[in-house]
């Protein structure tokens, strides 16, 4: 065969081979694009579900924290009025009237109230909702830690308390690259991390086979991220369920407490009214002796039940010799799973919620 024809045939064969490689490269690129597109769709779908669960869990924590702070503030108001009426009752009496509540239980109520009022006084504006969520996670444990370690409650009511609650809500939302607010940073730790999906650019900047290899790697990352998101969604769901049960129990018992507080306010208002009309207040007070003391005692009994619920941690805390472990910032250290997420304190919560409802049922109605 003449040489020119041989060279021409070789050129055609080479062109055909090059065309096939180009086609194979195109196919690899196309397959890589499909893999990445599918992976992104699967991740986005799961992340949307996670974001929704995180938002609803965080909202529930905010609601719980606000209620716990409100309860603490109301305890302080109750104590002021109870002390005032009890002082009036005991004025000039040889045998002083006293309530039948252990002193350490009353101190626990007072300490918790002081802590809540301190946090309310240091957090305001846009950060209030976030701080409330943080308080739901850490606040009750902080009061518990103060009681067990002897930490001055004034320090928890001030800067330390604020720092601890803010520590629970730092990090920003997942959408901005953080790990979420109360639902993410505090509860999940580092359990949720998005896959590295450098979708725009690498496929067509790589050879076909390399693009396909990178796409498969990204697909594996997405599968792992989706598994993490599924575990996180389940964990947040369990947390949300317990937050709802805690808040429901608090609302029910707090309603009972408020009946006694309203009764005290009615008595005080009546006494103020007769005082303005020059009626003998001492004689009028004598009519209320047993009634006032019973209202005060029952109010405090319900307050101690409420504090016991609030200071039962939602998540398990680390303890050494029954004392809560605090870090250098005064934040309680929580037990965590291998993935860094907090461990639900489910068995203790179940027992405490059942006990609280039973004990509250034993307190007579106002």
Q: Answer for the pair 319, 325: CB distance below 8 angstroms, yes or no.
A: yes
For the record, the structure tokens of 32 come out as 């890589």
CA 175 to chain centre: 19
Q: Where are the domains of the chain?
A: 30-362
| C-alpha dihedral (298, 303, 306, 311), degrees to nearest 10 | -140
Cβ neighbours of residue 237 closer than 8 Å, sequence gap 6 or more? 53, 57
For the record, the structure tokens of 168 come out as 């629970």
Position of tokens 């901005």?
176
Q: Answer for the pair 165, 118: CB distance below 8 angstroms, yes or no.
A: no
pLDDT in tens, 308-326: 999 898 988 888 888 878 7
Mean pLDDT of the chain: 75
Q: Answer for the pair 346, 242: CB distance below 8 angstroms, yes or no.
A: yes
DSSP state string for 121-186: HH--TTHHHHHHHHIIIIIHHHHHHHHHH---HHHHHTHHHHHHHHHTTTT--GGGTS--IIIIII
| Size of the chain in residues | 366
For the record, the structure tokens of 174 come out as 């997942």
Q: What is the pLDDT of residue 133?
A: 78
Residue 312's SS3 state is: coil
Q: Answer for the pair 208, 25: CB distance below 8 angstroms, yes or no.
A: yes
Q: Which long-range contacts (CB under 8 A, 24 or more apart) does 101-104 make?
A: 101/297, 101/300, 101/301, 101/304
pLDDT (tens digit, 0 to 9) for every residue of the chain, 366 residues total? Answer: 444 444 444 444 444 434 444 445 556 677 888 888 888 888 889 888 988 888 888 889 889 988 998 999 999 999 999 999 888 888 777 777 788 889 989 988 988 888 787 777 766 654 566 677 777 887 677 665 554 444 434 444 444 444 444 444 333 333 333 233 344 445 665 555 555 554 434 444 456 677 788 888 888 888 888 888 888 889 889 999 999 999 999 999 999 999 999 999 998 888 888 777 777 777 777 777 778 889 999 999 999 999 999 989 898 888 888 887 877 766 677 888 887 788 999 999 999 999 999 999 999 764
CA 168 to chain centre: 8
The model carries a pTM of: 0.79
């Amino acid at each position: 065969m003449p040489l020119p024809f041989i060279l021409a045939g070789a050129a055609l064969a080479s062109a055909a081979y090059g065309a096939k490689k180009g086609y194979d490269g195109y196919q690899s690129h196309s397959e890589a694009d499909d893999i990445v597109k599918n992976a992104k769709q699967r991740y986005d779908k799961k992340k949307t579900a996670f974001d929704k669960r995180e938002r609803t869990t965080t909202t529930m924590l905010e609601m719980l924290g606000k209620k716990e702070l409100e309860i603490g503030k109301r305890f302080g108001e109750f104590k002021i009025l109870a002390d005032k009426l009890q002082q009036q009752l005991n004025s000039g009496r040889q045998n002083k009237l006293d309530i039948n509540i252990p002193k350490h239980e009353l101190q626990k109520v007072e300490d918790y109230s002081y802590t809540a009022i301190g946090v309310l006084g240091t957090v305001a504006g846009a950060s209030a909702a976030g701080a409330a969520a943080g308080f739901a996670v850490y606040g009750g444990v902080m009061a518990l830690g103060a009681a067990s370690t002897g930490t001055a409650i004034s320090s928890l009511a001030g800067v330390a308390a604020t720092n601890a609650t803010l520590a629970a809500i730092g990090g920003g939302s997942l959408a901005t690259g953080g790990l979420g607010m109360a639902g993410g940073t505090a509860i999940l730790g580092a359990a949720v991390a998005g896959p590295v999906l450098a979708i725009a650019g690498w496929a067509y900047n790589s050879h076909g086979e390399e693009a396909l290899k990178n796409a498969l790697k990204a697909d594996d990352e997405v599968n792992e991220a989706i598994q993490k998101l599924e575990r996180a969604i389940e964990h947040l769901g369990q947390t949300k369920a317990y937050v709802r049960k805690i808040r429901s129990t608090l609302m029910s018992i707090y309603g009972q407490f408020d009946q006694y507080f309203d009764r005290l306010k009615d008595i005080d208002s009546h006494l103020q009214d007769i005082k303005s009309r020059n009626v003998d207040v001492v004689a009028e007070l004598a009519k209320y002796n047993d009634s006032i003391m019973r209202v005060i005692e029952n109010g405090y009994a319900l307050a101690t039940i409420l504090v016991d619920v609030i200071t039962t941690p939602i998540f398990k805390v680390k303890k050494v010799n029954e004392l809560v472990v605090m870090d250098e910032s005064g934040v309680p250290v929580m037990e965590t799973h291998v993935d860094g997420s907090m461990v639900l304190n489910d068995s203790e919560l179940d027992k405490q919620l059942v006990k609280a409802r039973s004990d509250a049922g034993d307190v007579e109605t106002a």
